[in-house]
Each structure stands twice: as structure tokens, then as C-alpha cells.
Structure 1
Amino acid sequence: MNFDDLACRKHETVFILWKRSLNEIGPEQLARKLALLHCKRTAVEVKSLSNGAYNECFRVKFTSGPDVVVRFSVLGRSFLRKEKVTDELAIMSYIATQSTTANSYSHSQGVWCRGVRSKLLTEHIQAPVTDKKQTVVLNMGLDMFSPILCKAYREMARVLLALSEYKFPYIGVVGKDTPEAPWSITKRAVTFNMNELVRIANYPPQDFHKGPFPTTSEYFIMLAEHHLHHLKMQRNNAVLDEDDCRKKYIARCLLRKIAQESHSPHDKGPFPLFCDDFRPSNVIVDNDLNIQSVIDWEYCYAAPVEFAHCSPWWLILSPPEEWVYGLDDFLANFLPLFLEILSQCEQELLDTHLPVSNPEKPLSSRIRESMENGLFWFCLAARTSFGFYEIYWRFIDENYFGKFHSLDERLMLLSDGEQENLEPFVQLKMQQAKENTLDRHQTGDQLVYS
């Protein structure tokens, strides 16, 4: 589904005004003040570190002690900002108490990590970029078994295995009710897809689920209902015409049907940690590609086991809906290489007597199965609002409902209520398209302070 152009313009205007205000204050000066406030040390240098679409980061050097990174969540592009930062600090604190895998530390409302002098893993394996708008993809000039690519995959595999060992009884965000309380799942998970729904679809933030969730089935049904609500609430650029609207409505109802009728063997968990934004561009490495730090934990939560069992989408760096080299390259070359390396890492853990989840059926085998039985595509479609439509019709529909002959045939699979609602829904979307307006879901204060 295309982005709502009015929502994009509105939020980009908010970003421009925010950026102008930040520049008037002086971001380096503000970063210096915040570092002094939280670290109680005198800064000697402040430099821009890396500015992505959602955060602006500044590296602060002191007369002594480690450098810190001060990060500003970008207004107009990053939403539910308070909740996200709180969630990220909690998960970083939890991981720091459990393992040195992340090698990250948090302090008050800031984050610092070792290795800020190093490079992002992406920089070692990406194709040369000549245009900032260019999609980042894997450097296909790398030999399939090149030491660089194999080392990169090995380091990523180690983190995936570590995350899969942390398990919880609910789906949601890790936290503590009080400093003395044990770690537990305390609230809903804020995901990257939720951020994008607000940013480019004008999805009402108050309509998101509350959570946490005790079962996989309830969580998947909620995700399917988000897809339907997204189609209803995005007023502009949502449908091309009446036929397109019917097909999009039916696809979302069928995804909900799959979610309602599927029975996960892991329905009641335990649920492993999963990070929406874990990818090579958020991994800092030294010159030998050894991980120094993993950054951007803002979308990390206890998730359905099926998410952890899915093949990583980042093996060729860009997400599936943007794959330049296509599915065949992914399946024939890069997924087998990663699974071989992941299997080697699993064996190394067993040889050193370290625990791994379900050694009789290791993660590498589960990921292979997810591609063979279509689970990968179902989970990806459930988590991806703007790539959902193409993924559903190409990879999911026939797998669950047999060969496609006509849309009317698929319509008969819907409940009586869903069938009755179809034509009124189509007329609603046609009316919205004519009006070319944007609903207001937040006040200015809510946008800034939430």
C-alpha cells in the first residue's frame, strides 16, 4: 500500500520545524549540557556521530572516562518517543545484567557504548553508495565464501543465538515495576511498524493494542486486526479503485482467518527476545569485524517464537520488498551460507557446554523450515503493513487456500459479517479518496510530549 501523501507532508513539516528549532539552540551545545547533567564530567569535544532518519546522535568526549553518545529522537519521524526510550533503556539494562553480548550501557536518558571509534558492520559489506537516496544492498562483488562476509554473518549469528536464550511468559516489553523487583514483561511492545503506521499512514496512536499478550494466537490476531484498521484509517493513497479496495480488504480478512485458525505449538511460549531493528547497520565492529556494540534496541521485545524462527531479512541488507537481486539469489546463495555458519556457531556452543534452545532441533533447522513451510512470509506479512499486500498474494494465499481462480471464490471464505461489510467499506474508501483530507488524532502537545 502506498503512503498517505498528506500524512507524509504533515509530518515532514513537523520535522523541518523541529530541526530548525534544534539548530537555533545548537545541537552540539545542547548535547554538551545533557552530557554534563547526566555524567557530571566536563566535555572537551562534541561531534555529530551519525544522523539517521529517526535519531540524531552526537559523540561527546570528556577529559577522562569513556565517550558518550547523546541521541535526540526526531520529531515528525519518531513517534511514541517517551515510551520507546523507556523501553530501550530497560532492555539495555536487562541485557547488561545477563550477558556481555550487547556490550552496551545506559545512563539516565542517554546511551553510551564502547567502540564508537569503530565502524558499522554495514560499511564493510555494502555495495558502494553514490546517492543518499540509494537503497543500501549487499556488495555482490564479495565472493560467496569471502572471509569478510562469513565473519559478518558469524558475528550476527552469535547475537541471534544469545537473544533466543532470553525467554519470558508473555509477549511484550521487559521491565521492572520497581528497582528491587525481578525482570518481567510489564507492558505492550512498541514496534517499528507501529512507528511507520503513525508516520506515513496517519494511524491513530490511541488505537494501538494495549498488551502484553499471553499467547501467540492472540498476538497474531491483533496484528491482523491492525492491518484491517490501517486500511480503514488511511484516508489517502490507500486504494486505487473499487476492485483494488475489495482485494485489499479480502486479503486482510483472510490473514485474520489464518491467524484465528492456526494453532502454534508455541502458543503459550516461553517467548524469546526479538529485535525489529537488529541489522548490520546497528552493529559496531572493530577492524577485524569483531562486535564492539549493538545499538538501537528501541524495538526489542519478547515476541512469538515464530519470529525468532524466521530467516533474517537483513542477509542482503535491504528488506524483502526492496530486494534488488530478488528472492532467488537470497534462497540459493545467502540463506544457505548463513544457515551453515549459524549451525557452526550452534555446534561451538554445544562443544563448550553452553546452553542452546532445543539442541535436538536447533535454530538453524527452524529457520530452514520457516522458508520451506511459508512461515517466514506469514510472519513478515503480519509485521509489515506497507509490504503486506504484495507478500500476501505472492507467498501466502495459495499456500493456505489453494490455487487462486477468482476473487469471488476467496470472498466466500470470509465470515457472513465480513462479506456484508465489504461493499459499505468500499464506499467508505471511495468517499475518503474524494475528500482528500487528513484526520487529526493528536494535539501539538501530544505529538511533542508523547
Structure 2
Amino acid sequence: MTVQPNSIEARDAAYHLHPYSNARKAEAEGSLILEEGEGIYVTDNTGKRYIEGLSGLWSVAVGFGEQRLIDAANAQMQKLPYYHAFAQKSHTPAVELAEKLVQMAPVPMSKVFFTNSGSEGNDTVVKLLWYRANAMGQPQKKKIISRIKGYHGVTVASASLTGLPYNHMSFDLPLPGIMHAGCPHYGGFAQEGESEEQFVARLAQELEDMILAEGPDTIAAFIGEPVMGAGGVIVPPEGYWAAIQAVLKKYDILLIADEVICGFGRTGQMFGSQTMGMEPDVMVLSKQLSSSYMPISAVLVNDRVYQPVADESDRIGTLGHGYTGSGHPVAAAVALENIKIIEERDLVGNAARLSPLFLSRLKDLTANPLVKEMRGIGLIGALELKQQGDAVGVAGGAMAAACMERGLIVRNLGDTVALCPPLIITEEQMVEMFDIYADALASLSF
């Protein structure tokens, strides 16, 4: 990319520090500037149109330019553009959204705490669990077990939960008291000759061994995505979550389901917990909650978690935690309308109906000798390409660039190239998306 002086790209390079980017590379090359979006497509400032094959960041369920969400935001902006939830204040959108989420939850939940991102949601969960442990007279019961390759955000606490090196390196993370159990990626971590059943049994045993080594009375919770997203679209083997939950129940350890990517239809059911047979005590929701039209996230807790927290807030006099934007009325109004659209248009059903085509097109591409493995479920999937030499990400980066050149935005996670299109995608559009993806793969040579 050649950056013209005084162009929007040059100004971006001069002033904007980008997340998840090489700052020096961005200075030198500038960035792709997106100006418009409609349906599954976005358009850059040169007029070039792309299929947004990752729904932005796994999140724009209803597509871009949805007028009902624009209208919902505008109407709420005119009525009550902002109010907070501190000191027993509230407003109708927050009340209605909390009620709706508790009613939708796949297992009984008690209360909803609103935050502004998945990172803030998971950070809040850590604090609530520490608070709860003190309330219950168990100040030692505060350790949290996450997983290698899990992704839970980028705040100090949530980045500690995340099990990816880039989120720890040079940040002095993870925090003490946060541990990482094995990753449920059979293709990447199975031992030679180990069946999937044996792999699952080993991971469960390793988790139990970790709990016993640390002391069961020191472990507050285990956190996991039903299906891992940013770690490489990792679908756990059959029986994995049943085996993990059996260990947690044995030692009275809470289960946190990070539904930030999976929630609201991505796996072909409303929640990934349903698809994977999980029975969480805490659920964290964001992304497709509002299709990312507004920043909002929600922490759902069951009564087992809520009651000690409520008692402690009564003893102290307040729950000393919250955000200026917690349950923002415009964001809550947009989220409510977004959920209505998902339900009315049966977008969860659309994901389930189109999933066989989505997965079969991915599987067809495994015939290419550059492909190491295909993974996916519902409308989230990826090809992992074979590593080229000693450098991780060379093949994946080349594939992402080839896709973008052809009008498809994807995301490479190292050498894994992910697809996660808006839930509104049609069969015809899916064929178009995969034709570009396949052509880009065919163009690669190393």
C-alpha cells in the first residue's frame, strides 16, 4: 500500500495507535479505511466493496446498515440519550434487556450486570468472584482456571485469563492466581496414537490433577468459550464439556461460559452452551448482543453467585464496582431491537440451515496440499494452513492478503484463517464468499 501525503491513510498513520497491529508497520503502510456497510458487505474509501467474512470482529449478526437498529438508537437518543445505573437508578431499556436476557438464558440465571465489552465483562466476573469468596468467608478461594489458547479479553484481569502469548508478552501478565489448563484442540495437542476419547479423558484428568495440586478450596471457577474463537476456531471433541463439568462439580468449582463470540446464534443454537451441553453459573455476552452497533456486554449470574454478592454489598453498604456506561440506554435499546431481529427473522435457524453448506465448502478445501486441518461448527469455521519454515503466520497472512485483494475480509490467527460471516448471509452469498476464499487459497505458492 502506498500512502499519499495528507490522505486519510496518512493521517491515520500519523495519529492512530491501532489495537492488534504492528505500530511501525501501520506507520509505514497506513491502513484499510472502511467508509460504508450494507448487509454482508463493506466498502472502503476508494469504492472497493468486500464481503465482511468475519462479521467485523465475529459480531455483526444482522449485517451492516440495519435500519431498525439505526432507528432504535435515534429514538432512544432523542428520549433519554444517557443515564447511569449507579445508586439505584435505572431506565426502561436496561430493565427490559436484563429481563429479556434472564428469560433467554439456557439455564436459570438470577441477575444481569451490564458492562461495555467482553473484556470488561470478564474483568467484572473476576472481581465478583473475589468479592463472593470474601463474602462467604473463603478468602483463599479465588484462583481461576482458564485454558491455553482461550480468549477472554485484554484488560489486566481478562488478558490474564486469555491463554495467548501476545496478550501476555511485555505486559507482565498473567496475574498470580490465574492458571491455564490444556487446550481441547485434538488436532494440535493429542499425543501419538491417542483417540479423541482418550484425549478428552486426559484433559479431564490433567484438570483434576491441577485442582488437587493447587487445593480445591483455593479454586473459585473455570472459564471457557463453548467453542474457542480467537485461539483458532477450536471445536472441542465430543464429551469434552461433560468430562470437564464432572470434575468441576466434584470439587464445587463454578463454571463461567464466555459466550462473547458464540452467543445469539453463531453455533446454530441461541447459545454455544446449548450446543455444547454446558450448564454455567455465569455467562458473559457481548458482540452479537447488539451486532456491535453499540458497545454493550452483559454478565449473567445465577442465584448461587448472586446471593453472597448481595449480602456483601449489604454488609459494606454498596457494591463498589460499575462503569459510567453500564447499561447505557442507547446501547440497551439497540440490543433489544437486535435480539428482536434475530428472533423474528430466525437468524439462528438460518445459521443451522446453512451450516452444512458452510462446513462442506470448508472441507472441500482440505484437498489443497497447503491445508493442515479444517475446523468449524454452525457459521464459524477456519482452515489451518501448514506452517512455512520457522515463521508462524506466513501462510495465514498470505491467505488473508489474497482474500482481501479479491474482495473478502477474513482474519488470520497465525496460520489459521477464520470465517464467521453475518448470520443474515444467504446461500448465494455464501457461494460467492467461498469462491473467493477458494481462489485465494489456490493462488498461494511457497
State TM-score, norm by structure 1. 0.20
| More helix by percentage | 1
State TM-score, norm by structure 2. 0.20
